[in-house]
Amino acid sequence: MKVGVQIHPQNATMAALRAGWEGVDQLGVDSLWTWDHFFPPLYGKADESHFEGWQVLAAMAVTTSNVSQIGMLVTACGYRNPDLLADMARTLDHLSDGRAVLGIGAGWMDRDEVEYGYPVRTPVQRLDALAEALPRIRRRLGLLRPGPIGRLPILIGGNGERRTLRLVAEHADMWNGYGDAEVIRAKNTALDRWCEEIGRDPREIERTVWIERVDPASMRSLVDAGAEHLILGLRAPYDLQAVERLVAAREAF
């Protein structure tokens, strides 16, 4: 099992944010992530401080050396041209010496779209855009010179069984989901079915799950349900002791 940390770029100064990710990098986790929003999306006040994710990600790439993967969990495909996004991810891969993951999803936050002048899309339209973007991203990654240093896996985030998990089976190297063990077991089963339908070995897709807290019993149940990589969402002030407990739980497994 692998463990990672998603640093939330919300309600913190840049100095505190950087101290947080550099501290995480010293504690033995496998992966480091942030999110792609323009405003606080999940908790706190709507006017709390917040920073743009891709520039935070670039800074993470050049100020860490121990984590083996760095990526966005996840970028909204409608916020950037797919070819541009591929180029950004390739550049991140070079900044990180081959550690980048291109994390992408359909997106969901209306406020980001409204206040930044993007077309406001329905969930169906966002999934349509994701389905269109993924082949373009793969094509552009093959055309860029120089190409990525490392493998540059594509991670798709989302729990939708009818469309999102099919896109994972068709295009992704990694999947990120959320929920309790019962939910994750059901999503893994659905993903396996899509792999069988299109003729892909389901073992090729790494199963990652976002978790809100370090609870060894819950973590064990998620691993039993098929999770291979647990990613802790870490909000400010960044509790590095929680990260130490995360690593200790991995070692105990």
CA–CA distance, 234 with 212 (Å, rounded to integer): 8
4-13, 45-54, 168-177, 182-191: the lowest-pLDDT one:
45-54
Tell me if 48 sits within 8 A of 11, measured CB to CB: yes
Q: What is the pLDDT of residue 115?
A: 92
C-alpha distances in angstroms, 143 versus 88, 89, 148?
A: 13, 13, 10
Q: What is the pLDDT of residue 31?
A: 98
Of 127, 105, 132, 129, the C-alpha closest to 37 is 105
DSSP secondary structure code for residue 85 in this structure: H
Determine the angle formed by the axes of helices 123-143 and 82-95, rounding to 10 degrees: 50
User: Residue by residue, what is the 3-state secondary structure of 151-181?
Assistant: CCCEEEECCCCCCHHHHHHHHCCEEEEECCH
**pLDDT score of 229 more than 90:** yes
Domain boundaries, the chain: 1-249
Tell me if 64 sits within 8 A of 26, measured CB to CB: no
Q: What is the pLDDT of residue 251?
A: 92
| Number of residues in the chain | 253
Helix (H) or strand (E) holding 115: helix 110-115
Helix (H) or strand (E) holding 224: helix 216-224
* pLDDT above 70 as % of the chain: 100
Q: Is 1-249 a CATH 1.10.3720.10 domain?
A: no
Q: What is the pLDDT of residue 45?
A: 81
Q: What is the pLDDT of residue 54?
A: 97
pLDDT tens-place string over residues 9-26: 999 999 999 999 999 999
Q: What is the pLDDT of residue 43?
A: 83
CA–CA distance, 199 with 227 (Å, rounded to integer): 22
Tokens encoding 104: 């992408």
Tokens encoding 63: 């100020």
Q: How far apart are the first and last CA of the chain?
A: 8
Q: What is the pLDDT of residue 253?
A: 83
